[in-house]
Structure 1
Amino acid sequence: MRILIAIDKFKGSIPATTAAQAIASALNQVLPEADCDLCPIADGGEGTAEAVVTALHGEWCQAATSDAQKRPVTASYGLVRTAAGHLEAVMEMSAASGLAMVSDLPLDPAAATTCGTGLMLQDAISRGAQRIVIGIGGSATNDAGIGMAATLGFRFLDASGAPLEPVIASLDRLAAIEPPQTSFPEILVACDVNNPLLGPHGCTRVYGPQKGVADFEFFESRLQHLASVASRDLGVDHRDVPGAGAAGGLGFGLMTFCKARLTSGFDLIADLVHLRERIAAADLIITGEGRLDAQTLHGKGPMGVAEMARELGKPIAAFAGAIEAEEQLRTRFDLLCAIKPREMPLTEAMQRGPELLTTAVLDQSHALLRLLTTP
């Protein structure tokens, strides 16, 4: 019997890879003949690189880069070799330009830069990556990717032709954008938000406050000017494309400067790890994440797994820290199990996540076996 473990992270408690390993370990105790296929999943945010590297048996690379406030850091990203022999890099912008990395400093969005993300991209290109997949959640920046672009060779010039510092505060003096005489590999952006660059639903007003943005007009006017100059000098205008406002406008920057393509995070990762083929080859699918609730029904990772399993006629079980909207979810899953005991405080449950997950799988072993043996 073959069991596919396609599980997302339990945010703040269990990384997706650790969750998959805990489930496999428990299954091996009660179903030693089971062949467990570990396929952690992600939606393009935190954990994306780890999920893909684990699922495809890739390798980790270290890149010397900098955080959003230009302090030297080392960022990890994955390299995987495709069946066709192509080298692909899988990374998260938050590994270099994430908000959590600068939480020890006062928020300074006018100086925050994506130059570190550019250095990580540059490192992957130098290693021969023929395609780069990048998740862009959790950013500390609101610079529309100009820091990244400058690192990759773009020049932002004032009216006299002098180079500007590639930060948002300089963009009111932007007169021209000069692209480098180089090309970039294919870049796919895992993005599950639909915000445009500008306006009431844009990056500044929706996501800016959590990064310290208070003067909306200061940022909006500069990003508007950047988009206009880019349209004139680069011949593209992505300001209104859904997802352009993701990660402080990095979605816009990747499309504008690197000709990147934005796509659904879950769909992209599912394609990368050959999820449909692995579901088709399995006798039982196990998925889950930290919380299953009404939002799960609207395209989150476990729901995507469940829909594929249903299409292919495979039984599917889900484990989660907590489960709400259980009546609705039971129409999509054959087995639902919350791993947190009702009386246990949440903080304790999060600390004991792997242990609780293992116990829950062992407790549900008979139910899982029924799913495996029921025609």
Structure 2
Amino acid sequence: MRILLAPDSFKEAASAEAIAQAMARGIKRGNPQAECWLMPLSDGGEGLTHALVHATGGTLHDVETVDAVGRPIIAQFGFLGNKHTSCTAVVELASASGLERVSPADRNALVASTFGTGLLIRAAIDAGADCIVLGLGGSATTDGGTGLARALGFHFLDTAGHDIPLGGGSLVDLSRIDDSEVPDFVKNVPIVLACDVTNPLTGPEGAAHVFAPQKGATATQVELLDQGLANLARAIMQYNGRDIEHTPGAGAAGGTGGGVLGLFNATVKPGIELVLNLAHGREACAWADVVITGEGSIDSQTPYGKVPSGIAKLAQSQGKPTIAIGGTVTRDPHTVEALNKTGIIATFGIAPGPADLTTLIANTERNVEITCAAIASTLRITAATSPCESA
């Protein structure tokens, strides 16, 4: 039996690569004769760089940068492998400016900035990148990508002509944008935004109202951040005539989607589609008899642009079934029906029984291995007992 192992990361527990390896160990325990193809995936958030470097035989590069609150850290970008004609670099916003980089006690929704991600992009360009794939997801920021842009030479000025402070909280004081120190090649380098959300920049469904509370923002701060992003949209319209406020995906990563679309040579693609294309997902699904995927939580969001539904739809188009595992699994009928429509025929929670969250997270890889061993044993028995067609 050929089994494609194509999980996302289990957030705050294990990377997609670690989950795929745990899956493989479990499959071999349950069916030593099974063949496994490991294809760790990402929908554009955490794990994008490793997923694409793994899939293309590329390289990882360490860079000295800063986290969302300005503390020095080491983060990574990647170059895709030699099979690609362009020198394409992969940067994920979560690597430098991610929420997981900042403890809950240190999170500050008003000052958190994407400046560190801009330093990663600058390092990639300095190393020869002529195209950037930028993963939007998992950010600690709501600055509309202005920190990123500042690291690449832009200035965001108040009415007195002074640079406003980093962070989304200062965007209400933005008067105009100055690009006099941005090199032309930086302005023109193609940037592909890998994004799994369609939220606009502002309003009830925008970056501040939907995502900022997860980043520590109070109700008052949410309103201030929303006003700031609306002011940024106005300043970009004044700067180059681009209207980003209601563009689908502009609200991704605290408005970074909108800022990058407004200031750079950028386009948006669904993250999972981009990854599956570069990872040769169609070829992998054609090879497999069954696909096993997973993410930290299989819930009502899973059928819409997430890794499990993305790989399941591709497998379904090849006539192959998909099984999904998760740290938690929602069983409500509407979610189950939506998952079934994507091609996911069964879901399994990996928790062995009642336990506190800390213990479950610490044992994630072990629990993935045990669950996949049971799945492999079941698949082996099913295959062995299936009636043969008569001649």
TM range (shorter): 0.7 to 0.9
Answering whether residue 295 of structure 2 is matched by residue 289 of structure 1, we say: yes
Q: Residue deviations 1:26-57, cap 9 Å, x none?
A: 33345444432110112112222222233333
What's the CA shift for 1:299? 3.9
Q: Residue deviations 1:50-73, cap 9 Å, x none?
A: 222333333221111112222221
Distance 1:288 1:166, change over 3 A: closer
Q: State the alpha-carbon separation in 1 of the partners of residues 287 and 244 from structure 2.
A: 40
Q: Aligned to 2:184, what secondary structure does the other structure show?
A: coil
Q: Which moved more, 1:177-186 or 1:132-141?
A: 177-186
What's the CA shift for 1:86? 3.0
What's the CA shift for 1:152? 0.6
Asked whether the 8 Å contact 1:177–1:229 carries over to 2, the reply is no
AA paired with 2:84? A
Q: Which moved more, 1:22-31 or 1:228-237?
A: 22-31
Answering whether residue 318 of structure 2 is matched by residue 318 of structure 1, we say: no
Q: State the alpha-carbon separation in 1 of the partners of residues 357 and 174 from structure 2.
A: 50
Asked whether the 8 Å contact 1:114–1:145 carries over to 2, the reply is yes
AA paired with 2:74? T
Q: Aligned to 2:196, what secondary structure does the other structure show?
A: coil
Asked whether the 8 Å contact 2:133–2:192 carries over to 1, the reply is yes
Asked whether the 8 Å contact 1:38–1:55 carries over to 2, the reply is no
Q: Which residue of 2 aligns with 1:338?
A: 349
Q: State the alpha-carbon separation in 2 of the partners of residues 26 and 54 from structure 1.
A: 21
Distance 1:245 1:312, change over 3 A: same
Q: Which residue of 2 aligns with 1:212?
A: 217
Asked whether the 8 Å contact 1:5–1:38 carries over to 2, the reply is yes
Distance 1:307 1:217, change over 3 A: closer
Q: State the alpha-carbon separation in 2 of the partners of residues 52 and 44 from structure 1.
A: 10
Q: State the alpha-carbon separation in 2 of the partners of residues 212 and 257 from structure 1.
A: 26
Q: Which residue of 2 aligns with 1:153?
A: 153
Answering whether residue 302 of structure 2 is matched by residue 274 of structure 1, we say: no
Answering whether residue 100 of structure 2 is matched by residue 100 of structure 1, we say: yes
What's the CA shift for 1:124? 1.0
Q: Which runs of 5+ in 2 are unaligned?
A: none
AA paired with 2:54? T
Q: State the alpha-carbon separation in 1 of the partners of residues 295 and 255 from structure 2.
A: 28
Q: Aligned to 1:297, what secondary structure does the other structure show?
A: coil
Q: Which runs of 5+ in 1 are unaligned?
A: none
Equivalent residue runs for 1:1-375 within 5 Å = 1-29=1-29, 31-103=31-103, 106-159=106-159, 163-165=163-165, 167-168=167-168, 169=170, 172=173, 174-179=175-180, 180-184=182-186, 185-209=189-213, 210-213=215-218, 214-325=220-331, 328=337, 329=339, 332-369=343-380
Q: State the alpha-carbon separation in 2 of the partners of residues 343 and 110 from structure 1.
A: 38
Asked whether the 8 Å contact 1:195–1:244 carries over to 2, the reply is yes
Q: State the alpha-carbon separation in 2 of the partners of residues 163 and 345 from structure 1.
A: 47
Asked whether the 8 Å contact 2:30–2:372 carries over to 1, the reply is no
Q: State the alpha-carbon separation in 1 of the partners of residues 249 and 42 from structure 2.
A: 18
Asked whether the 8 Å contact 1:164–1:174 carries over to 2, the reply is no
Q: State the alpha-carbon separation in 1 of the partners of residues 295 and 107 from structure 2.
A: 31
Q: Residue deviations 1:189-233, cap 9 Å, x none?
A: 122222222222222233233333534554344433332222122
Q: Which moved more, 1:28-37 or 1:307-316?
A: 28-37
TM-score (norm 1): 0.88
Q: Which moved more, 1:276-285 or 1:24-33?
A: 24-33
What's the CA shift for 1:236? 1.4
Q: Aligned to 2:77, what secondary structure does the other structure show?
A: strand
Q: Residue deviations 1:245-267, cap 9 Å, x none?
A: 22221111111122221222222
What's the CA shift for 1:173? 5.1
Q: In the comparison of the two structures, how many residue pairs are matched?
A: 375
Q: State the alpha-carbon separation in 1 of the partners of residues 183 and 78 from structure 2.
A: 27
Distance 1:372 1:296, change over 3 A: farther
AA paired with 2:122? Q
TM-score (norm 2): 0.84
What's the CA shift for 1:102? 3.2
